[in-house]
Structure 1
Amino acid sequence: MNKIKQHIYKAMFWLLPWLCAVPLASCSFDDDIDTGGDNAPATLQLSITAREEGDLNTRVGTEVGQDNEYMHNLLVLFIQNGKVVKKFLPDLRYDEAAKVGNLKTWESEKFTLAPGTYTVYAFANIDSYFSTAWSSLTGLGENASIPNDVNIDNIVLEDNPASKLDFVTYFIPMSAKEDVTVTSDTRKVSIGLDRLVSKIRMSITGKPDTKVTALSFGGYADKITLFSDKTLEGETYTTTKTITVSGDGTLKADVSGTTGTLAIPDFYVNSSPDGHPFTVNIKTVETTGIIHDATAVTQRNVLPRNSIFPLTLQLNDYGLDLEAQCWVSPIGSLPVEVTVGFTPDTYEITVPEGCQFAFTVKGININGGNTSYITNLTGTWNMPDGVSGIAFDGATTGVTTVKGHVTASVGKTVNLSLLVTWQDNGATYNRTYTVKLTTADLTNYPFYSKQTRTPEFGLDYLRHEMLNMFIK
């Protein structure tokens, strides 16, 4: 009997390979299955990462993002032939990093995908608060066709999206679009997200103890396309960001004691296309009580998405080089010029009652230096409303010389506003000065018997006196 069993076992050992080759046999070995070559579905994993920001100075390449600058929510669509082949809308409500916008990378579970080319759209931190089209995207289901009224490529975030960031509920919008080719050997697809805003990193240098009382950055686009290869339409470039100044706004002296600095917390503005420079307005008060209101326009005229723009504001001493002339007409005499009185180191001019005057902007003296490179210098003068006894004669806008007359009695004081505009190395600057004009007793001013003809005014006068008046 044992011999019979041994013969049966030997027969089965030799027949087993042949039985497994029969089509209906139930034997299988997973490691030996023919996958069908390049047409077999790929088993892969998706990785989404928020890219690091690029410094526009390009000297340091990219920079690691700060807290709250990463992912809070996420949507990914694999599109092929107008259909959603695969969709990822992960529930990140309970992810501790995502709650505060700090999720740097998200990875999916493994999934299968047929070989082919797909357009992958990825979005983070976008909801209906930024775009009413958002629900049209999140509502798409797998194997569904993209509706005719949903054009993903042309979606625009309207109404100054950068102004909506609060880093509690609303975080920096991000997007990516990439054509991906999947083969049976593909094991991972990695997509990098770009932030749709630019970060402005501003610092201020100038006299120690100067206090910044107001600051703004403007001139960027009021809307953003989801993708950089799309052109904005109907946008405006009048959007302005009012900046909160840290601390008390005072420029703190460095170790030398000669230069003050103030760092402004990073802030975000909408990315903007080429061709639109940006305007910075600043108002400061010096320890002497002198108030300055200055404007400058940047040479940079584009803010790419996912970028950092380092910007230093140098509060130079922009001294006003001002020439003042004055004439009086004593009874029986032609008008003669008299010496103009002034208070040193301030823009205070004293003229006699009943005189004619002419003030000329000769230049801007930067930190006491040469102004020969200053171009397109003009001035615009303004008289306060309701002033009587002092008036301008002729043009007051876009001029270098303004003329006027005084009929007021002794002791009249008027604060004239002078906006001076100039260009320096292609950049445009504006600064507002206050010129305090005061009338004094005519008998305090001498008359001259020696006269010289001046063709411009048709008057006889002895000479003129130029006053170079700078902020000290």
Structure 2
Amino acid sequence: MNKIKQHIYKAMLWLLPWLCAVPLASCSFDDDIDQGGDGTATLQLSITAREEGDLNTRADEVGTNGEYMHNLCVLIVDGTNVVTKKLLPNTDDEFAGNTAAQQGNLKSWVSDPFTLPEGTYTVYAFANIDTYYDNLWGSLTGLQSGASLTTLNVDIDNIVLDDPAAKLNFAERKFIPMSAKQQVVVTAATKSISIGLDRLVSKIRMSISGKASTKVTALSFGGYADKITLFSDKTLEGATYTTTKTITVPEGGWSLDNDGKLTIPDFYVNSSPDGHPFNVSVTTDEMNGITYEATTSRDELPRNSIFPLTLQLNDYGLDLAAQCWVSPIGSLPVEVSVGFTQDTYEITVPEGCQFEFTVNGINGATAGVTDLSCTWNMPDGVSGIAFDGATTGVTTVKGHVTASAGKTFDLSLLVTWKDNGATYNRTYTVKVFTDDITNFPFKSKTRTPEFGLDYLRHEMLNMFKK
């Protein structure tokens, strides 16, 4: 029986090469023979730019032109912090001669086969980080295989980029920076490594709803971080959260359509950690210019994300009253009728008068206004008008204008209030015009024997938005 087994074993050894040559035979056996025995693996590296995730629907979305790879650097670092392999395909035809890469549209890249010793590695991948990042790109691409990051004092894990969103300019080939860090275990059987790149910015997808034909003349989104860590597993320290993206609005503004809708072109801001809500400001052409302000409930912008944001321009108007007095030489102040332009916050007052403007309330509030507060401001360097007394946290402001007709002053009025538990902020523009004093009638027909002037009689003039 033992002799029979020996013959069968010898026959199998003799047939083995022929079995491997049969077309239907598995190739894995050959691969295992090729890979094993010398403690190395021959493999390929696959790099892919991940798709962006919608923060509302949680669904991934295919990126648009310019949102993928333009250049690439990969460093494979062993457990002793030594660069075992560097891949820099930018000078090869793979990137330099690739139209998609030149336009920032290369979605994925696969390396040629290369050999690595068995072991555990950290793979660092960087895309679109060029010389405009304080020579960071050169410090990374300048590393060679065999370089000790410890000896060179290169701390890749803790690299921080300053305001990358502000540097984006696709027309100048300044594309979205991307990064990835992944620990991999390489054995003799390893054939490939796949790495996904994340964009270091977030995309804001904004739309505006309001009254049809309203024009948006200014728009900004702020409160995000002024810097970002290269990798998401690092805590961002020393950042400030006052960075603001001012969106370029075409001359003449953007008009809401007949349905009162407006879609703003997508724009990018730095991703930001949680705990920092974002503020939005929209200025329209309503009533000489109204600025709407709001703060988001969202306080985090993950990297590689899309934040859909709809701004609802609620139709709130000021209940505004105005009084003016003139003071002829040797006489007590006399109240005069104030001129208003219908449906706008435009007030015409006599030259040299004293004025008093009061915000009595907000038109359009649903549950009743509480905590009403006003702050009045005038442009720097303006002469001919001055406030007398407090201008912040008050509902009434007093002041006087120059004794000169034909002047125009744009006053900025920030009003804050609560309605049904929600806090609102609006900035209104109040236009003040001066005119000849003889064009303003006294408010009373009764005259005083002592001074030959009108008694001061209070009258409240309310303004309502149509």
Give TM class, smaller chain.
Answer: 0.7 to 0.9
Alpha carbons 2:168, 2:176 under 8 Å: kept:
no
Change (3 A) 1:274 1:183: same
Q: Secondary structure at the match of 1:265?
A: coil
Equivalent residue of 1:224, what SS? strand
Q: How far is the alpha carbon of 1:261 from its aligned partner?
A: 2.7
For the residue of structure 1 that corresponds to 2:74, the secondary structure is strand
AA aligned opposite 1:83: V
- In the alignment, residue 392 of structure 1 is paired with which amino acid? F
Per the alignment, in what secondary structure is the counterpart of residue 162 of structure 1?
helix
2:308 is matched by which residue type in structure 1?
P
After TM superposition, the structure 1 = structure 2 runs for residues 317-466 of structure 1, keeping only pairs within 5 Å, are: 317-325=315-323, 342-349=340-347, 356-365=354-363, 368-370=364-366, 372=368, 375=371, 377-382=373-378, 387-388=383-384, 391-405=386-400, 408=403, 414-422=408-416, 429-436=425-432, 438=434, 440-441=437-438, 443-446=441-444, 464-466=459-461
Match of 1:93 in 2: 96
Unpaired runs of 5+ residues, structure 2, are 1-6, 15-20, 22-28, 448-454
Which of 68-77 and 34-43 deviates more?
A: 34-43
User: Is the contact between residue 339 and residue 465 of structure 1 (CA under 8 Å) also seen in structure 2?
Assistant: no
Against the structure 1 CA distance between its residues 246 and 308, is the aligned structure 2 distance closer, same or farther, given a 3 Å change threshold?
A: farther
- Tell me which of 111, 123, 127 is aligned to 2:126: 123
Q: What is the CA-CA distance between 1:438 and the residue it aligns to?
A: 4.6
Does residue 151 (structure 1) correspond to residue 145 (structure 2)? The answer is: no
Report sequence identity in percent. 58
How far is the alpha carbon of 1:266 from its aligned partner?
Answer: 1.5
| 2:373 aligned partner, one-letter code | L
CA contact (8 A) 1:354 1:406 kept: yes
The CA deviation string for residues 283-304 of structure 1, in whole angstroms up to 9 with x for no partner, is: 3335xx8333444443433322
Q: What SS does the aligned partner of 1:97 have?
A: helix
Cα–Cα, structure 1 residues 225 and 438, in superposed 2: closer, same or farther, change >3 Å?
A: same
TM-superposed deviation, 1:465: 2.1
Q: 1:114 to 1:401 in 2, by over 3 A?
A: same
User: What does 1:5-20 align with in structure 2 at a 5 Å threshold?
Assistant: none
Give runs of aligned pairs for residues 35-184 of structure 1, distance below 5 A. 40-57=39-56, 59-80=57-78, 81-90=80-89, 91=92, 92-146=95-149, 147-158=151-162, 160-184=164-188
For residues 138 and 225 of structure 2, the distance between their equivalents in structure 1, rounded to whole angstroms, comes to 25
What's the TM-score, normalizing by structure 1?
A: 0.76
Moved more, 392-401 or 294-303: 294-303
Q: How far, CA to CA, are the matches of 1:201 and 1:85 in structure 2?
A: 42
Aligned to 1:198: 202
Change (3 A) 1:175 1:386: closer
Instruction: Tell me: CA distance 1:228–1:33, structure 2 relative to 1, closer, same or farther (3 Å).
Output: closer
The structure whose Rg is larger is: 1
Shift of 1:193: 0.4
Deviation at 1:171, TM superposition (A): 1.3
8 Å CA contact 1:130, 1:161 repeated in 2: no
Structure 2 residue aligned with 1:291: 289
User: CA 1:42 to 1:470, structure 2 compared with 1: closer, same or farther past 3 Å?
Assistant: farther
> Quick one: distance in 2 between partners of 1:36 and 1:161?
44
2:25 matched to which residue of 1? none
Which range moved further: 43-52 or 235-244?
Answer: 235-244
C-alpha distance in 1, partners of 2:251/2:321?
A: 40
The aligned amino acid for 2:157 is D
Task: Give the Å deviation of 1:265.
Answer: 1.8
Report the Cα distance in structure 2 between the residues aligned to 1:445 and 1:423, rounded to whole angstroms.
Answer: 33
User: The residue matched to 2:366 in structure 1 has which SS?
Assistant: coil
- CA 1:445–1:383: 2 relative to 1, 3 Å: farther
Q: Note if contact 1:84-1:142 (Cα within 8 Å) is conserved in structure 2.
A: yes
CA gap of 1:247–1:328, structure 2 versus 1, over 3 A, is: closer
User: What secondary structure, in the 3-state scheme, does the structure 2 residue paired with 1:470 have?
Assistant: coil
Query: RMSD across aligned C-alpha pairs, in angstroms?
Result: 3.9
Cα distance in 2 between the residues matched to 1:32 and 1:120: 24
**How far 1:152 moved relative to its partner?**
0.4
Q: For residues 158-203 of structure 1, what are the alpha-carbon distances to aligned partners after superposition, in whole Å with 9 as ceiling and x for unaligned?
A: 3545334325422111001111223333333211100011112222
2:40 and 2:118 in contact (8 A); partners too = yes
